[in-house]
């Protein structure tokens, strides 16, 4: 697969920039939609070293790309570099989707929308009676999740993090409905919560597992994990064994890609089971999370 575009790309070409970026599955998603919709276009991985990120955005308007996704570690640099950041990107201080409007560099952040769309799809009505939510982690991903949960009316939102300062920074950013907490507080908070989200890297392939006791949880607790490798994380496994409703994290990756595609290529794509299967096949797993 192509990893970068020539300066004279023959068709409208978008990219994902990051460092490293070779593991990004975004090209599979966007190329699938381009092909489905019969559009001329392309989407490539474009590795950009941290020292080059500001220069990449400074030259964007005269470069070969119609737009880009931005992944780790460039989202904050992208926010600082765009001429205009929309409301959600401004609230998060991070940009993951960039496009041009009359030569101006525009930025949004679609992680929050992707997170919510995944829940809307996997657990319709999950926010019918929003109550207390627990968010595990206080990094960049947690910011998007907290913003999204606040927008859907969840309160209070307990943010549990190993490093207390980072949980407190979430309260400073998002207000008094955000309650910073430590892992030792989880057993006392669980019985009140209607939603539990893991945004830490715990449970990801190659990382320590997320070991959690859900015995005290309400029977209607919805559990979701933004980690999607493995598809069934240790957290989701424990939740399912307790007969709790779960939503895995792969849909967030798929749904966050929708708005960028629409900006760059002019048509709103749909997240389908077929697209999900395509990504799962690339991951080498089947729908049940078992190695193919």
Give the footprint of ligand ATR on this chain (CB under 6 A): 137-142, 161-163, 166, 199-202, 208
226 annotated as a binding-site residue:
yes
139 annotated as a binding-site residue:
yes
Nearer to ligand ATR, 4 or 201 (CB): 201
The DSSP-derived string for the chain is ---S--TT-SS-EEEEEESS-TT--HHHHHHHHHHHHT---EEEEEE--GGGHHHHHHTGGGSS-SEEEE-TT-HHHHHHH-SEE-HHHHHHT---EEEEETTEEEEE--HHHHHHHHHHHHSTTTTSS--EEEEE--SHHHHHHHHHHHHTT--SEEEE-SSHHHHHHHHHHH-TTEEEE-GGGHHHHGGGEEEEEE-SSTTSTTS-------TTS-TT-EEEES--SSSS-HHHHHHHHTT-EEE-SHHHHHHHTHHHHHHHHSS-----HHHHHHHHHHHTB-TTS-B-
Nearest approach in angstroms of CB 74 to ligand ATR is 12
137 annotated as a binding-site residue:
yes
4 annotated as a binding-site residue:
no
Nearer to ligand ATR, 202 or 247 (CB): 202
Nearest approach in angstroms of CB 73 to ligand ATR is 9
Nearer to ligand ATR, 138 or 193 (CB): 138
Nearest approach in angstroms of CB 165 to ligand ATR is 8
Nearer to ligand ATR, 34 or 89 (CB): 89
Nearer to ligand ATR, 73 or 153 (CB): 73
Give CA torsion, residues 23, 258, 121, 245, to 10 deg: 30
The strands making up 84-85's β-sheet, listed across from edge to edge, are 42-47, 13-18, 67-70, 97-101, 104-108, 84-85
165 annotated as a binding-site residue:
yes
Nearest approach in angstroms of CB 168 to ligand ATR is 11
Is residue 75 annotated as part of the catalytic site, yes or no?
yes
Nearest approach in angstroms of CB 268 to ligand ATR is 27
Q: Which two tokens stand for residue 97?
A: 């989707």
140 annotated as a binding-site residue:
yes
Residues comprising the binding site for NADP(+)?
A: 137-141, 161-166, 226, 249
Residues comprising the binding site?
A: 24-26, 71, 96, 111, 137-141, 161-166, 226, 228, 249, 256
Residues comprising the binding site for shikimate?
A: 24-26, 71, 96, 111, 228, 256
* Catalytic center residues: 75
């Amino acid at each position: 697969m192509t990893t970068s575009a020539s300066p004279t790309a023959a068709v409208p070409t978008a990219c994902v920039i990051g460092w490293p970026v070779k593991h990004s599955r975004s090209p599979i998603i966007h190329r699938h939609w381009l092909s489905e919709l019969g559009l001329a276009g392309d989407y490539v991985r474009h590795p950009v070293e941290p020292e080059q990120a500001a220069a990449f955005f400074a030259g964007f308007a005269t470069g070969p790309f119609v737009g880009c996704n931005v992944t780790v570690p460039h989202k904050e640099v992208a926010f600082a570099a765009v001429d205009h950041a929309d409301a959600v990107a401004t609230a998060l201080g991070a940009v993951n989707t960039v496009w041009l409007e009359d030569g101006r560099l525009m930025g949004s952040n679609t992680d929050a929308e992707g997170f919510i769309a995944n829940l809307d799809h996997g657990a319709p009505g999950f926010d019918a009676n929003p109550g207390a939510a627990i968010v595990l982690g206080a990094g960049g991903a947690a910011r998007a999740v907290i913003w999204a949960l606040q927008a859907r009316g969840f309160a209070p939102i307990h943010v549990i993090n190993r490093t207390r300062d980072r949980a407190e920074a979430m309260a400073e950013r998002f207000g008094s409905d955000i309650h910073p907490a430590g892992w030792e507080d989880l057993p006392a908070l669980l019985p009140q919560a209607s939603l539990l989200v893991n945004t830490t890297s715990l449970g990801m392939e190659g990382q320590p597992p997320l070991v959690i006791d859900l015995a005290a949880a309400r029977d209607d607790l919805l559990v979701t994990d933004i980690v999607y490798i493995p598809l069934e994380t240790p957290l989701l496994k424990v939740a399912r064994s307790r007969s709790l409703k779960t939503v895995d994290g792969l849909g967030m990756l798929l749904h966050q890609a929708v708005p960028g595609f629409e900006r760059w290529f002019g048509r709103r794509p749909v997240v389908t089971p077929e697209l999900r299967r395509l990504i799962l096949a690339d991951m080498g797993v089947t729908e049940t999370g078992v190695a193919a």
